[in-house]
Amino acid sequence: MGGVFQVDQAEFIEQAKQFQLEGQTIAVVKNNAYNYGLDFAVKAFAIAGIDYFATTSIEDAIYIRKICGQKVNIFLLNPTTDFKRVKQHRLEITLPSLDYYMSYKHDLVDIDLHIEFEGLFKRSGFAKINEVEAFLNDAKANDFDLNIKGLWTHFGYADEFDGVYEKERQLWLDFVEGVFELGIHPSVVHAQNSASFMRDGLLNNHSHVRLGIGLYGSKPFESLDSKDFIQSVSVTAPIVQIRQLKAGESLGYSKAFTATEDCKVAIVDIGYGDGILRERIKHGCEIGGRSYEIVALMMSHMAVLVDDHVKMHMPVYLYGKSQRIDHFTALGVGANSEQLGAFNYNSMRREIVYDD
């Protein structure tokens, strides 16, 4: 028993086909491919025609190389010092700062590098053009033949509409122009996540979009049409027991729920230990096509206030066609990726629905 994370493969592939920019899409598959499963997602994206992947883990990057062979490009978003395996598996890596270059410049020869710009997000990356110029001058002085294949940043504000994204975008475009003026013209220029891509299409002087959540079927911001984003995943759990509570009786940790009248409560085999966020339970669940209130959340279970329509055999839906991940994002449960990333894929069963 327990929670089930189910993905419809055909729908997943259909979404990837309709959302990508053909031949110019880098699929982000970090964190176990947003918990859809790295093996499943990479193979499905490959069927959809995507041949460029980005992740934060060198182990994941190596696994992608093993299942896809040499026909795909793999970019490591996080800095690494494991240069031996980077070269062995022909991985592309980020060049995040002048300090990083100065520390490891002798190891960077013969590796495809992507210069990173920090932008407004300031997670990592070069802050100014003169830092890029400094490492280029040092490489020239030391006769290092560096392979500068890419140029990239992360837009942290593309799903916000208060004017900050426009500033972050312009800072990035100015940085790109500055790099070009230094005589560097990388073949892969990528900055746009799903939200930026939906707002602007492909930006000038860019070769690729680097897409995450939109490829997986969730809207990057609320005003978009749900019809353009196929949610291929559902999360369900079985009912363990239907209990009768009398008025005044309580259940759950610290008497989380106390009945104000005689009622029925379904105990469901899923909880916060499986990755159900506490904010999520504020918005109920669906059983037999009807909405019901979740009244208590425990580590491995939750309690749902039900009526006579609910029977033991009925699955309880926390996510599904009528319970979209992005809908709960709009309600303040957490970002699309936050809800997906919370799922405990060690405790929840995963099922893939294949076409017959």
Residue type present at position 117: F
Q: Retrieve residue 19's tokens.
A: 């959302």
Q: Is 157 a catalytic residue?
A: no
* Residue located via tokens 């309580």: 250
Distances in whole angstroms, Cα of residue 147 to Cα of each of 27, 109, 139: 22, 7, 11
Annotated active-site residue in 227, 246, 253, 354: 253
Q: Which of 199, 215, 296, 198 is nearest to 254 (CA)?
A: 296
- Dist CA 68 CA 289 (whole Å): 41
Q: Which of 17, 30, 122, 319 is catalytic?
A: 30
The answer to whether 331 touches 277, Cβ cutoff 8 Å, is no
Structure tokens at 127: 């802050």
Give the contacts of 15 (CB within 8 A, at least 6 positions apart).
215, 216, 217, 229, 230, 232
Sign of CA dihedral 309, 310, 312, 316: positive
Report how far residue 295's alpha carbon sits from residue 289's, in angstroms, rounded to the nearest whole number: 19
Helix (H, G, I), strand (E, B) or coil at 150: strand
**Token duo for residue 63:** 């696994």
Closest CA to 119 of 172, 190, 194, 189: 172
Active site residue 253: yes
The closest alpha carbon to 304, from 324, 319, 318, 323, belongs to 318
Q: What single-letter amino acid sits at 96?
A: P
Amino acid in position 257 = F
Closest CA to 232 of 301, 94, 324: 324
Q: What phi and psi, each to the nearest 5 degrees, are found at residue 31?
A: 50, 55
List residues with catalytic annotation.
30, 253
